[in-house]
Amino acid sequence: MKKSLILMGVISLSLLASPAIADNTEIRKYREMLFESVGNITKMIGNNLKGDAGTASDLIPLAEALNAHAQLVVPAFKTNTATDNGDSKANPKIWDNFDDFTKKAENFKSEAQNFLEIAKKNEINQKNFKQLTASCGSCHKAYKD
């Protein structure tokens, strides 16, 4: 009896302690991995367009990969980490202006979709790439430190 009371005490103490233990490290890491991938795919597209690497037909799977990643941006920010942001480059303003952040992410999605459509017609040029990366810049300017 005494033992189980002690055990219950230990369990309830650890339950009390758990919110403090559960920080947002994994969420921040996930977001960072997402954008590292977005950055790498975009750099690959840039190198490909300059003629440095790959072939013209690679632009379709690259654009598809970018489209897939674009779907993941808003869900990755669903948890508000403003008060536990570590050394994240995500500006806490994101969560005060989540509608606007979502709008910028939606714009990125539609630019990535547009880029894919043009890639499928084999008509991609530097101007299309600039238009695509402008959608990155407009979000970074407002929401990346």
For residue 79, report the phi and psi dihedrals to the nearest 5 degrees.
-85, 125
Minimum separation from the CB atom of position 30 to ligand HEC (A) = 9
Q: What's the min distance (Å) between Cβ of 47 and ligand HEC?
A: 13
For residue 105, which of 46, 34, 25, 41 has the smallest C-alpha distance?
34
Q: If binding is defined by CB under 6 A, does position 32 make contact with ligand HEC?
A: yes
Whether residue 139 contacts residue 101, with contact meaning beta carbons closer than 8 Å, is answered with yes
CB of 7 to ligand HEC, least distance (A): 40
Q: Which pair of tokens denotes residue 60?
A: 């379709």
Q: 91-95: long-range contacts at Cβ-Cβ below 8 A with a sequence spacing of 24 or more?
A: 91/142, 91/143, 91/144, 91/145, 93/142, 93/143, 94/143
Looking at the chain, how many residues does it have? 145
Give the footprint of ligand HEC on residues 54-93 (CB under 6 A).
73, 88-90
Site string for ligand HEC, 95-124 (x = CB under 6 A): ------x--xx--x----------------
Q: Total residues contacting ligand HEC (rule CB under 6 A)?
A: 22
3 state DSSP class of 144: strand
From 3-11, 18-26, 33-41, 48-56, give the range in contact with ligand HEC by CB under 6 A.
Answer: 33-41
- Positions in the binding site for ligand HEC (CB under 6 A): 28, 31-32, 35, 38-39, 42, 73, 88-90, 101, 104-105, 108, 133, 135-136, 139-140, 143-144
